[in-house]
Chains A and B, each alone.
Chain A
């Protein structure tokens, strides 16, 4: 499993993703600078890390999507390569049109950094196959613009196609208004594209993948990807490849 981590100007979780992939999972990983195009064939996973690409100027992710590297990401997505966007990476995926919907400022207009509980919406994806559907996991969030919005039809479609990967929930897995940290529609914390090869999520699995940090719930997400790519996952192959 070879990963590319795209470095945009202002990315600041690129090093964290690199650390988890290379040190915790022991898999090869490379940084790809936003000015470079790359060949999708060289990588199995492409990570769009968190941070403040272009300082969040204009709108989070709005400028980064025009990077040369994003052209390669779009092509890779089309070819069925796995693409993981975390936090600002999720925002860029939305701006690039690889996932439906948009991000608004958090409901209370404040930056939120704390742990949240997430209910796993689907285990039927390359990113979540080691979780159980409905399992409750804990992950940190750290964002100012994580208030996910999509129109009702889109939300209905995401639900009916089983594309909501994570919901903000309470400790018991109840998806309640109180457990929603930012006002996201339907408590959505992460979604998949139609082909299930692109995942965007606001919480940070890379920040909770080691016991020393007090929580390793996020490690399963990266291990799911490895299981999938090595053909061991229960979900088999998705879409075209």
Chain B
């Protein structure tokens, strides 16, 4: 077989191969070809997405580290900073759900402590097919246990996330893990291999044959043959990672540590190429020095292995023994495998003999950008849904119960109770709220965390869907009292080679960029995951937004639960008639269509300002974002969380089902004691947000009456018990039933 043929087999194009030959001035050997093929895979090179990602706003005075490093960093005052990053592990999880998800968590944790930060929280954004399918159940159960076993053992609380179920994710589930860390500003360290002669050391687990070509596997569509890719899935050992974490954090206090880098996708190749490229230097290493757990591994296998729980450390020459001492304390090895050079080459030796020699920059940054053109998908041209043709159900109480029991809305306790979410004793607001809130020990502050995306909205209108994901995440933070600080994004899409997918990708990015700019929330890190499709189905475009917010005084945080009978319940924001893309249409009528709700960013911004101000002034006893399932579901959720009822009357000429279950944006349901209403009205007037009294918190009954100006009326009357039952048991029944 010719070299070119071999290159193609490894996923490289002819153009890419020719560029490699030009760069090297000769044909690449096997090892070099392997290294190029993983580094220039979409997963590592972002060659399909790079130009578009430039559209994101990434700068702000509080941004200490934007995209391009292991993770993003934002300043939170008190000499402290928050480190954040989200990443996908979709394909491994589709083939081997337990290990796929576990190693996804392990990888994202390493990205955080590679910056020198102590990881303090995990979130998981999950998408699966419908749970009545046995294979989906297997995938779902495996992923949840994989996340649980890894995060729990690490002692990092899993405090939030989301789970959506839709057939489009049946073959290709989405498993996105986000990790957040905290660090003193002056202890931030970066992944750079600086200083000629400095030592390059490998620490942590020994290297085996697992995960070879994992990055390439992530850069192709799932197919019948994917099952044979099982060896491409890495195997995780959270105990090893816990030791590695403690040893690295101990090490990183030392001034003679120059740089550190996680070994993730493309293993040693990527870690060496990236650290060298960032510093504009080179690295020479000898694979014979790499500790192994299997015999007779070739240089190719050592350089491409994705064995987990390993880190690359660059230290000033002469401190190798100091490194060893720290790692020996934790029963881990630390071995010098090479050193930093000044010639910009990544030179791989085996027992002193050169087996690969490539410019580090070419490997890390040289993949040619693929300029693609999107084409508006045909389905978007003919999607208009005439909602006037949808007959309104007689019994809206039944509708509400059905919605509360839909796995997309129902309690996720079955999932998060398997995750340790209270370890580290920082969790002030636990999972099951709009956003998790953590205190920051040693300060009065708190941080709030969320992940959000509605894939159906993005499918039906990629631009609006992208905007909405950002707005929703910001709102979820604001209702806890946290000001949004930064975004980390995980963009999950089908194949970029499909112009229609590329169109979705481009438009979602435009929407995210627009909302992020308008709401002044910079994007500081992220990940792109393409090829999420099988021959049967493509996933919805799913750009998951992870967001971090700051509470100046964590004791003033707010939650969604109603607190006191007699409190007034108010709506902050305006109801408009928008039924499209709702969970209501999906669950009751089986329709996934219509125009998703629009976000008016100006209105959103004013609402966020009002909410933050009202919470800071102590005006609100509860606040809850109105999202999937609409107003009725939002009120019901506040009731269930507080174990209290609601009685109210809403006057509106919007058709009752749209009023109660439509998902129009920029709305918050809040409760407050009656004497605070004038003060709230004043703040709302300043902010330019409408406030409507909806009713009152009562002991246990749930009653909503809707009246229009023509004398028509509709009502929902339920007991708190039946609502709670529908909401809390549904997911468990689906999974275990």
Contact = CB atoms under 8 A, between A and B. Distances in A.
B439 A114 contact: no
Interface string A206-219: 11011011100000
B243 A9 contact: yes
A12 B155 contact: yes
B256 interface: no
B155 A204 contact: no
Nearest to B243: A9
Contacts of B555: 212
**Interface range, B side:** 20 to 34
Contact of A52 (B242, B330, B413): B242
B424 A144 contact: no
From B148, B155, B419, B554, residue with most partner A Cβ within 10 Å? B155
Contacts of B441: 19, 23
A41 B244 CA distance: 33
B298 interface: no
Interface in B361-413: 413
Given A52-B152, A57-B239, A111 B423 contact: no
B160 to A, nearest CB: 13
B4 interface: no
A231 interface: no
Nearest to B155: A12
A110 B237 CA distance: 19
A213 B427 contact: yes
Nearest to A51: B155
A150 to B, nearest CB: 26
A153 to B, nearest CB: 34
Given A9-B243, A12-B155, A212-B428, A142 B423 contact: yes
Interface string A13-49: 1011001100100000000010100000000000000
Secondary structure at the A interface, as helix, strand, loop or mixed, is mixed
A10 B239 contact: yes
Given A9-B330, A212-B428, A113 B153 contact: no
B239 A207 contact: no
Contact of A213 (B329, B331, B428): B428
A200 interface: no
Interface in A184-209: 204, 206-207, 209
B243 A207 contact: no
Contacts of B417: 110-114
- State which size class the interface on A falls in: 20 to 34
Contact of A10 (B153, B413, B416, B422): B153
Contacts of B354: none
B428 A12 contact: no
B155 A13 contact: yes
Contacts of B154: 12
B424 A16 contact: yes
Nearest to B414: A110
B262 to A, nearest CB: 20
Contact of A140 (B152, B239, B422): B422
B709 interface: no
A12 B417 CA distance: 18
Interface string B522-555: 0000000000000000000000000000000011
A149 interface: no
B425 interface: yes
B308 to A, nearest CB: 14
B11 interface: no
B43 interface: no
Interface string A46-87: 000011101111000000000000000000000000000000
B239 to A, nearest CB: 3
A149 B650 CA distance: 56
Contact of A12 (B149, B242, B331): B242
A54 B240 CA distance: 9
B428 A214 contact: yes
Given A210-B425, A213-B425, 16 more contacts: A9-B242, A12-B154, A15-B424, A16-B425, A50-B423, A51-B155, A55-B238, A55-B239, A56-B239, A111-B417, A113-B421, A113-B422, A142-B420, A142-B422, A204-B422, A212-B428
7 contacts: A12-B154, A13-B423, A55-B238, A55-B240, A55-B242, A113-B420, A213-B425
Going nearest first, the 5 A-B pairs with the smallest beta carbon separation are A12-B155, A55-B239, A52-B153, A142-B420, A16-B425
Interface of A: 9-10, 12-13, 15-16, 19-20, 23, 33, 35, 50-52, 54-57, 110-114, 140, 142, 144, 204, 206-207, 209-210, 212-214
